[in-house]
């Protein structure tokens, strides 16, 4: 310890270098791409459910497939709504 400051003269170096903090804009863009991918996956799954519903004659299977498609389309719509909000926020200025 240094007699005047009360701190050790040579602090031990850190074993791992720190990663630079991610900027707010980078985090936002990452979140946008993640949500966009989720929306695309949900939309693709909804399309598959519609195809299953169209290809069957069983009323119950068709109803279940259409219900699944409706839920997935709602999820995709919700994700896209969030993406649009996040995208508009990126360009509003500030970081």
60-89 residue pLDDT tens = 999 999 999 999 999 999 999 999 998 887
Give the pLDDT score at 87: 84
Model confidence at 93: pLDDT above 60:
no
* DSSP structure string for 50-67: HHHHHH---HHHHHHHHH
Nearby residues of 79 by Cβ (< 8 Å), 6 or more positions away: 35, 36, 38, 39, 42
CA distances from 77 to 37, 43, 94 (A): 12, 9, 28
* DSSP structure string for 1-28: --TTT-S-SSPPPPSSPPPPPPPHHHHH
């Amino acid at each position: 310890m240094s007699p005047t400051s009360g701190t050790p003269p040579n602090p031990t170096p850190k074993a791992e270098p720190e990663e630079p903090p991610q900027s707010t804009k980078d985090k936002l863009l990452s979140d946008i791409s993640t949500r966009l991918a989720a929306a695309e996956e949900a939309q693709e799954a909804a399309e598959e459910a519609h195809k299953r519903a169209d290809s069957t004659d069983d009323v119950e299977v068709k109803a279940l497939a259409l219900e699944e498609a409706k839920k997935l389309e709602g999820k995709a719509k919700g994700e896209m709504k969030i993406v649009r909000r996040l995208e508009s926020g990126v360009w509003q200025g500030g970081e």
